[in-house]
């Protein structure tokens, strides 16, 4: 089958493409704009690993370029589309909201329009636990309102969900949105907690813990996330209901306090963190925890990798990639 993956040089996109090509039954076209929001070198290293796999082809493309996206989609004619390309980062969205409109709103519109012109069997797109915002009740379930995001990033992801619903309703597109919960693992983004914290610990720099380290996060290992994405991709929304549209959480359902997370990293790295306890950060949620009832019933999704093992795998990769000796 033919699968188009946007954000293929990103953390989750890289792992999804690896899993698809490993089956040897998929022809994968990966798109990414290789933005400099974080290290382009890391993105190219991910792509270099993918380039060695059979069935993968990469094209540098800009989601905001409607003509380019429509042409690539129309020429490839994918059976399935996995849309992971986006401007990420909760805190950066307070500094540069225009980047989020261009990538997350305009870019997603262009993907939807391409799918409307040449419909795939299924479009699966990335949302975020950030959509739950101030109105969320832990554990977060998909039937909650999600109408009060506390970050602009979360607002753009909620807008994506509403846009997708309208295209499913108006044009009959089979669409599924997945709300990711704090994904971590090898090849992770350098602007996310595991890499930021591990580097600070290894370099002996101050490690800021907002809300005095009391925030809780539902850390989910990358392999579990990929399992959920592939399972959901292969089972488009059944008819009825109408429109053919669904939303699912993909998380671990075991939130961990950030102070404990730091202690686990310290033990694995064999070094002590220079912790700075700070007030809460604007736009941050105090706690995230995924209710997995709906996705378990739909495709039998069940996370298998405990945080202890996932962090061990992450630290092994981190030491190798960033050349920090044991």
Q: Can you give the residue range of the structural domain that contains 206?
A: 193-217+255-288+306-322
Q: 266-320 pLDDT, tens per residue? A: 999 999 999 999 999 877 788 999 999 999 999 999 999 999 999 999 999 999 9
Same domain assignment for residues 100 and 212: no
Cβ contacts of residue 250 below 8 Å, gap of 6+?
A: 178, 179, 180, 181, 220, 224, 225, 228, 229, 290, 295, 301
Paired strand residues for 256? 217
Q: 145-158 pLDDT, tens per residue? A: 999 999 999 999 99
Estimate the share of the chain in helix, then strand, then coil, as percent rounded to the nearest 5: 45, 20, 35
The residue from 80, 153, 167, 184 that is catalytic is 153
Contact criterion met (CB below 8 Å) for 279 and 210: yes
Same domain assignment for residues 149 and 199: no
Same domain assignment for residues 134 and 263: no
Q: With 0-12 CB in 10 A as exposed, 13-18 as middle and 19+ as buried, what is 257?
A: middle
Domain membership of residue 294 (yes or no) is no
Of 225, 163, 211, 165, give the one whose Cα is nearest residue 15.
225
> Would you say the C-alpha torsion 23, 28, 34, 37 has a positive or negative sign?
negative
User: Which parts of the chain register pLDDT below 50?
Assistant: none
Paired strand residues for 184? 221
Cβ contacts of residue 104 below 8 Å, gap of 6+?
A: 86, 87, 153, 156, 157, 159, 160
Burial track 181-191 (b if 16+ CB lie within 10 A, e otherwise)? bbbbbbbbbee
Same domain assignment for residues 150 and 27: yes
Same domain assignment for residues 146 and 262: no
* Rounded alpha-carbon distances, angstroms, from residue 310 to 32, 218, 289: 27, 13, 18
**d(C-alpha 60, C-alpha 83), whole Å:** 15
Structure tokens at 165: 């619903």
Same domain assignment for residues 173 and 276: no
Same domain assignment for residues 16 and 83: yes
**CATH, residue 179:** 3.40.50.720
Active site residue 184: no
Domain membership of residue 301 (yes or no) is no
**CATH, residue 282:** 3.90.25.10
Domain membership of residue 293 (yes or no) is no
Q: Is the peptide bond before 88 cis (omega within 30 degrees of 0)?
A: no
Number of C-beta neighbours around residue 302 at 10 A: 12
Same domain assignment for residues 34 and 142: yes
């Amino acid at each position: 089958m033919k699968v188009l993956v946007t954000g293929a040089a990103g953390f989750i996109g890289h792992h999804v493409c690896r899993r698809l090509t490993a089956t040897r039954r998929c022809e994968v076209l990966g798109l990414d704009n290789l933005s400099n929001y974080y290290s382009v070198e890391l993105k190219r290293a991910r792509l270099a690993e993918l380039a060695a796999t059979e069935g993968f082809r990469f094209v540098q493309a800009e989601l905001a370029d409607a003509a380019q996206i429509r042409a690539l989609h129309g020429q490839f004619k994918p059976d399935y589309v996995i849309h992971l390309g986006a401007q990420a980062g909760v805190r950066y969205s307070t500094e540069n909201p225009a980047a989020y409109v261009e990538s997350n709103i305009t870019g997603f519109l262009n993907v939807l329009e391409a799918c409307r012109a040449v419909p795939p069997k299924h479009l699966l797109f990335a949302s975020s636990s950030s959509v739950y915002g101030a109105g969320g009740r832990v554990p977060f379930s998909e039937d909650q309102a999600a109408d009060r995001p506390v970050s602009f990033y979360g607002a753009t992801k909620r807008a994506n969900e509403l846009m997708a619903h309208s295209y499913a309703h108006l044009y009959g597109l089979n669409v599924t949105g997945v709300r990711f919960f704090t994904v971590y693992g090898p090849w992770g983004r350098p602007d996310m907690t595991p890499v930021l914290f591990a580097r600070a610990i290894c370099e002996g720099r101050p490690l800021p813990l907002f809300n005095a380290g009391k925030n809780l996060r539902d850390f989910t290992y990358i392999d579990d996330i990929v399992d959920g994405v592939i399972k959901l991709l292969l089972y488009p929304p059944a008819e009825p209901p109408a429109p053919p549209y669904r939303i699912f959480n993909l998380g671990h359902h075991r939130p961990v306090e950030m102070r404990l997370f730091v202690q686990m990293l310290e033990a694995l790295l064999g070094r002590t963190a220079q912790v700075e306890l700070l007030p809460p950060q604007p736009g941050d949620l105090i706690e995230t925890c995924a209710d997995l009832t709906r996705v378990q019933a739909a495709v039998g999704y069940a996370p298998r990798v405990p945080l202890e093992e996932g962090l061990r795998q992450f630290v092994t990769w981190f030491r190798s990639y960033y050349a920090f000796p044991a």
